[in-house]
Amino acid sequence: MRALHFGAGNIGRGFIGLVLSQAGYEVCFSDVNDSLVELLKERKAYTVRLANAAQDSFHVSNVTAINGKNLEDVAEAVAQADLVTTAVGVNILKHIAEGIAIGLAKRAERGAAPLHIIACENAIGGSTQLKEHVYSHLSPELQEIVGKFAAFPDSAVDRIVPIQHNEDPLEVRVEPFYEWVVDESKMLPGFHRIEGVHYVSELEPYIERKLFTVNTGHGFAAYLGYLQGYGTIQEAMADSEIAKNVRNIMEETGALLIRKYGFDHGGHEQYIEKILGRFSNPYLTDHIERIGRSPIRKISRNDRFVRPALQAFELGLSTRYLTMGIAAALLFDIASDPEAAEIQKSLSEHGLDQTITSYTSIDKEHPLHKAIIIHYEQLKAGVKEV
């Protein structure tokens, strides 16, 4: 079996590529990093090391790579693949869509076997978004043909893979925990189950559980840690007050998830405990600038802070720490981060009220808007907890 995976970075190699290799796939990576592609083609293997006491390692072999800048090579790889996956970042999906579309057209000409294309991105509906980009390159007639043999099931993925600089440029360090959940209701009949993947008939509860717990908590830890001058998530989580606030925000989103989806209360508490342990993993060094980057996306209406805050508010649930998280994100002043710089410019030129509405879509008259302002002013003044 042959899998084509877009994105040969740390997440691609250390998470998706590793799982696929262990499941028996020959993995071909597509990437635009010339040196990385050449190294993978030359070695055809790399090492994944776990961030744990034992420093467990896995030798991933039977891999190769193609240059994603060569559309013909990408299309041919799609045409020959038994599975296509991505880990490139949701904003990059549109850039890989054309090669996938050409490859699907080749499959249509050749009468190739059914194909699943799964976007393993930190976003809601990543595969659905990729499908829209791909179909924009296909005629209506081809869309109808492709729809009969290609499926784009959405997925939820979770594994902490920090930015790292190893002596071996192909080696990658990852946390021991991972979760890869795929919506089987959108898969083709008789699909091949990938070992290590959890298949569910309803994906949304798992997507929101991960987004509202892991991503919300991680982002909150980063923004509070930044305000206290810490450099890593591990340093921030060693601050008892920050750790308490991170737990509190997870309790808020947990109340929403339990009400909305009926998750078991005790089971969700255990899930929170596991995540807090992951954030504090002493064998990882996860920089706050990485976790906090792109704050515009993180405080947008459908992401980790605003989405649960609005839903919790409508249900009459607490939003105290969610609004604090939004306020803290607005104070994330990293000049090298274009989104952070844009927010600071908006605050300077248009003021806090308009900036909140512009980036969160929360109207000035909404109670959450007023709560964000209170938290912002107190956090800016150096008050850790409101």
Contacts for 218 with CB less than 8 Å, ≥ 6 apart: 233, 279, 291
Neighbours of 62 (CB within 10 A): 13
**In the chain, beta strands by DSSP E:** 2-6, 26-31, 45-50, 57-61, 63-67, 83-86, 115-119, 150-151, 155-158, 172-174, 179-183, 198-200
d(CA 57, CA 49): 4
For the chain, what's the residue count? 386
Contact at 8 Å (CB) between 184 and 201? yes
Contacts for 316 with CB less than 8 Å, ≥ 6 apart: none
Contacts for 199 with CB less than 8 Å, ≥ 6 apart: 181, 182, 183, 184, 187, 193
Token pair in block for residue 209:
């559980």
d(CA 315, CA 261): 13
Contacts for 344 with CB less than 8 Å, ≥ 6 apart: 333
DSSP 186: G
Number of H helices, E strands in the chain: 18, 12
SS3 content of the chain, % helix, strand, coil (to 5): 55, 15, 30
Neighbours of 222 (CB within 10 A): 30
DSSP 299: T
Token pair in block for residue 113:
């076997």
d(CA 333, CA 262): 38
Per the annotation, binding residues for NAD(+) are 3-14
d(CA 293, CA 343): 12
Per the annotation, binding residues are 3-14
